[in-house]
Structure 1
Amino acid sequence: MKMHTSIAAFLLASTLTAFAGQAPAGIADPDLPITHGDRVYAAEQFSNTISVSDPADNKLLGVIKLGDPQPGNLSPLYKGQVLVHGMGFSPDHKTLAVVSIGSNSVSFIDTETNAVKHTTYVGRSPHEAFFTPDGQEVWVTVRGEDYISVIDAHTFEEMIRIKVPAGPGMQIFSPDGKLGYICSSFNPETVVVSVADHQIVGHVKQASPFCPNIAASPDGKQVWFTLKDIGKTQVFNAQAPFDLIKTIDTGPITNHVNLVNNKNGSFAYVTVGGLNEVKVFRTDTFEQVATIPVGNLPHGIWPSGDGTRVYVGLENADALAAIDTLTNKVIATIPIGQAPQAVAYVPNAVTKGDGKDNLVPLGTAGQATHLKLGSKKKQAETSVTLFDQGLTQVLQASVTGLDPKKPYVLALSDKPDGSGTLEALSNFMTNPTGSAIVNAVGPIRQIVKADHQADRRYLVVTASVDGKPGQVIQVQRD
């Protein structure tokens, strides 16, 4: 009798392992082994491209160009997209939904041909989009307003708007397709919506107002969301009464979270931009089991169809990091476009041909200059990337190591130690973790990398005195 029980337990364990299911699918869905037909997509905010990579050999195949870089998009914009940012995909793995914040659009892309088959324009500053599990609707968080735009997945027309707290950040669905979970980027409240009738059926209090990302577990039991401003990740019960289960300190500029099932168990992977790390937690005990250094400013993250890898967009490194989830080591780094945001891994995206139609080379989208700033105490606290836009660059600094909720200035100095004349580039305020994302535009590379020493200037972070540069806190290290 004991032998029969053991055999039954073994068979059950084997079945669960073989049918683990990866987000956003359910736990009973089969794992999908990595093949050359799979694709990893990254939405690239400053080059306005979608990079397309083959995970079987971790190779960039090319990019889908949705718009022009600066300065082309500063003129009246009659075509093309700006600030390519969010991404979701259909349950049949044949359509990408790509959100562009600056042009208020959702581009629907055929994964077989890489062609845009329709563009739907929605309200002010949409952020993320995702298909319902039955493939009938696409929900778009219109973060600049206070609603979800529900789009018919076949006609691509808006069907209805779901009123939610202002600034909806992202939505994801329960694996059974019955519930939608919508966190907020402006209000400390996540709402739960019934997919059948589009009515709010639950509320979850957020520890802060700024949630950019949310993920539901394949077993239908948990929902995880990140809080970028305070560096925390929270977990709540996926079923009513939607009670909060756990709050985890994850670190400054906590960006995205996703869930992975593999033979070692069920895990949450969290990108922590201010630490340049991915942190890994068990979903049963919430124990942190790994810290993975990945590169500058990790942002979007998504698992492979079999859970053996996760792919991470490195916003300030123009790269995609591939992590082996059984060893929690980076096994490849793929050069991609500028400032990747959302990442999506789509199994069996291409079922015929080589899947390279309508792709163009990376070109200038892959050109950037990388710098680091530090203080006397720490050699490297702030990463800076200058994304090439022709004669100008978009500067993005991932600033860390400062005092919380205080004003600072990113400036140029004519002395390496910051002791010379200071010229302000951008004023900013740190969040509660003493970090910030700071942007500026100009011919900055030509200044900080000038051939003649007398013409060179150096990036520094200073205290703010009535909006002007004060005491130097961090200086350029390279």
Structure 2
Amino acid sequence: MRQILLPTLTMLLLAGTALAGQAPGPASAPDVPVSAKDRFYTSDQFSNTISVIDPAANTLLGVIKLGDPTPMNLSPLYKGQLLVHGMGFSPDHKTLLAVSIGSNAVSFIDTATNTVRHTSYVGRSPHEAFFTPDGKEVWVSVRGENYLAVLDAGTGKEIRRIEVPNGPGMTIFSPDGQYGYVCSSFSPETVVIDTKTHAIVGRVKQESPFCPDIAATPDGEQVWFTLKDVGRTQVFEAKPPFKALKTIETGPITNHVNIVRTKAGQFAYVTIGGLNLVKVFRTDDFSQIATIPTGALPHGLWPSGDGSRVYVGLENADKAAVIDTATNTVVAEVPIGQGPQGVAYVPNTVPEGDGRQNLQPLGASGKTSALTLSGTDGKPATQITLFDQGVLQTLQAAVTGLPAKMPFVLALSDDPKGAGMIEPLAAFMTNPAGAAIVNAIGPIRQVTRTDAGTGRRYLVVAAGKPGELGGVVQVQTKD
């Protein structure tokens, strides 16, 4: 009787459980409905914080402070983290990883207490890190060099290095744990690594050298990766021979991709920073089914444990946008820290209590100003955010609408049409899509606002290089 009842009970339980599975887990994993035990995290590059959101209430609970804003982080005696950027989490959801590019660090954060348990220091400019599906190792993409740093998940110590093409951007694993897929930010090649032997067993040609993000589908059939410089997204088979399947023209500053499974099917959500959109594609026929306006410069995104929502970090808005996947519309916005980059939605991270231990208020990290530059046709082309760092602001411009692979200068002019004296702030080269992300720092808000008096300056983009400037091609049109 017992041998009959147990299989029957198991079948009944499975029949009542939706098996959709969310990245990076397998499709066989049960759905985890959104609850107050879940957390959505963003890594905030300019405030050097981790924002912690309760997705049941869509409320910011506070931030985990990993470092200080500029200029306090410029001291040679500075001990905090700098340019908090990438994210990952353990299979048991007890550990969050935060990668800091400027301080070459991987912070292991206890999700129950919001405290840093351990910090590992790796090679130059790491970008992303993720746990292997068995939870035993952490693979860190050391983008400033040509290898993955493999850390022991328990001790955080580096136990080996895996040589890969120069500039590894991100690693994600197949749901069964057999393969690690590593795209590159400096070399036009993605490699596939056997997780047991740590040997490269496959290579996929990237149509450009700059891939910032990669995702594997929960059904174990496909891998999607983005190409930020050319505005495309590529798809290849997740199993040998790792055949290329599709290249999709997605748009300027194509940032991150993630996978959602619902009763309606399996979908890829892609953030298009230069268009302030998320685009949604089916994974069976690659057709686009939705375009979702989000706000300024969408970057990282991650689905909830049941696929009912997708949370998106808005890099130039200091907000998280919440997308209802049934309607593919933004249903909420949550204020967060400055310049969110990587994100992670982690179900069931708070076993008991309210999960607010050791969190700090957002404070000055929530202060930003927005500006717009328009081209000679009068149409808005470049969005600029000034992140308040006290007296100074960190400027980030999402530049679009320019000729490809040409030199330009972001500058200040004493004339609203850019006809007067021009003071260069930052030189840059546009990518093949005619776009660029440009950074500068200074008391920019004070000199560009309307009450600056006779000393007011206007942000412009001019052709050429500092000392060899050509004509002004974009001018400030919105305070």
TM-score range, shorter chain: over 0.9
Q: Is the 8 A contact 2:41 2:52 kept in 1?
A: yes
TM-aligned CA distance change 1:132 to 1:16, over 3 Å = farther
Q: 1:467 to 1:189 in 2, by over 3 A?
A: farther
Indicate the larger mover: 70-79 or 402-411. Answer: 70-79
TM-score normalised by the chain length of structure 1: 0.96
Relative distance call for 1:75 and 1:301 in structure 2 (3 A) is: same
Q: Once the 2 structures are TM-superposed, how far is the Cα of residue 267 of structure 1 from its aligned partner?
A: 0.3
Q: Which residue of 1 aligns with 2:305?
A: 305
**Inter-CA distance 77–244: structure 2 relative to 1 (3 Å threshold):** farther
- Structure 2 residue aligned with 1:42: 42
Shift of 1:78: 4.2
TM-fit CA distance, 1:77: 3.8
Q: What is the deviation of 1:451?
A: 2.1
Work out whether residues 251 and 272 of structure 2, in 8 Å CA contact, stay in contact via their aligned partners in 1.
yes
**What TM-score comes out, normalization by structure 2 length?**
0.96
Letter in 1 for 2:403: D
CA distance in 2, matches of 1:457, 1:360: 36
Indicate the residue corresponding to 2:471 in structure 1: 471
For the residue of structure 2 that corresponds to 1:81, the secondary structure is coil
Shift of 1:136: 0.6
Q: Does 1:419 align with 2:419?
A: yes
**Alpha-carbon distance in 1 for matches of 2:136, 2:92:** 11
Q: Distance in 2 between matches of 1:109 and 1:329?
A: 32
Secondary structure in structure 2 of the residue aligned to 1:477 = strand
What letter is aligned with 2:59? K
Q: Could you tell me how far 1:15 is from its partner in structure 2?
A: 5.2
Q: Distance in 1 between matches of 2:34 and 2:118?
A: 29
User: Where does the alignment leave 5 or more consecutive residues of structure 1 unmatched?
Assistant: 1-10
| Per-residue deviation, 1:79 | 1.5
Amino acid of the residue matched to residue 31 of structure 1?
D
Question: What is the aligned length?
Answer: 467
Match of 1:210 in 2: 210
Instruction: Tell me the distance in 1 between the aligned counterparts of 2:427 and 2:135.
Output: 44
Aligned with 1:196: secondary structure?
Answer: coil
Matches within 5 A, 1:79-478: 79-449=79-449, 451-464=451-464, 467-478=467-478
In 2, the alpha carbon distance for the partners of 1:63 and 1:283 equals 35
Q: SS where residue 369 of structure 2 aligns?
A: strand
The residue identity in structure 2 corresponding to 1:367 is K
User: Is 2:272–2:297's contact at 8 Å kept on the other side of the alignment?
Assistant: yes
Q: Contact 2:446 / 2:452 at 8 angstroms: preserved in 1?
A: no
1:157-178 CA distance string (max 9 Å, x none): 1111001111000000000011
Following TM superposition, by how much is the alpha carbon of 1:197 offset from its aligned partner in structure 2, in angstroms?
A: 1.4
The AA in structure 1 aligned to 2:222 is Q
1:179-211 residue CA offsets vs partner (Å, 9 max, x unmatched): 100001010011100111111111111001000
Shift in CA distance, 208/109, structure 1 to aligned 2, threshold 3 Å: same
Sort the Cα spacing of 1:78 and 1:440 in 2 relative to 1 into closer, same or farther, 3 A: closer
- Looking at structure 2, the residues matched to 45 and 34 of structure 1 have their Cα atoms a distance apart, in angstroms, of 27
Displacement of 1:378: 4.2
Give % identity.
67
Q: Which secondary structure does the structure 2 equivalent of 1:209 belong to? A: coil
Tell me by how many angstroms 1:265 deviates.
0.9
Alpha-carbon distance in structure 2 between the residues aligned to 1:89 and 1:364:
28
Aligned to 2:58: 58
Deviations 1:215-242 (A, max 9, x none): 0000000000000000000000000000
Deviating above 3 A after TM superposition, structure 1's stretches of 4 or more consecutive aligned residues are 14-17, 465-469
SS of equivalent to 2:451: coil
Contact preservation (8 Å) 1:271, 1:278: yes
The answer to whether the 8 A contact 1:17-1:263 is kept is: no
Residues 1:29 and 1:403: Cα distance change in structure 2 (over 3 Å): same
SS of residue paired to 1:161: strand
- Secondary structure of 1:116's counterpart equals strand
Q: Give the deviation of 1:453 after TM superposition.
A: 2.7
What SS does structure 2 have at the residue aligned with 1:18? Answer: coil
Structure 2 spans left out of the alignment, 5+ residues? 1-10
Aligned residue identity for 1:208: S
Alpha-carbon distance between aligned partners in 2 of 1:161 and 1:467, rounded to the nearest angstrom: 44
Letter paired with 2:68: D
Give the superposition deviation at 1:424.
1.0
In structure 2, C-alpha distance between the alignment counterparts of 1:400 and 1:368, rounded to whole Å: 21
Tell me what 2:20 maps to. Answer: 20
Residue pair 1:385, 1:397 contacting (<8 A) in 2 also: yes
The corresponding residue for 1:4 is: none
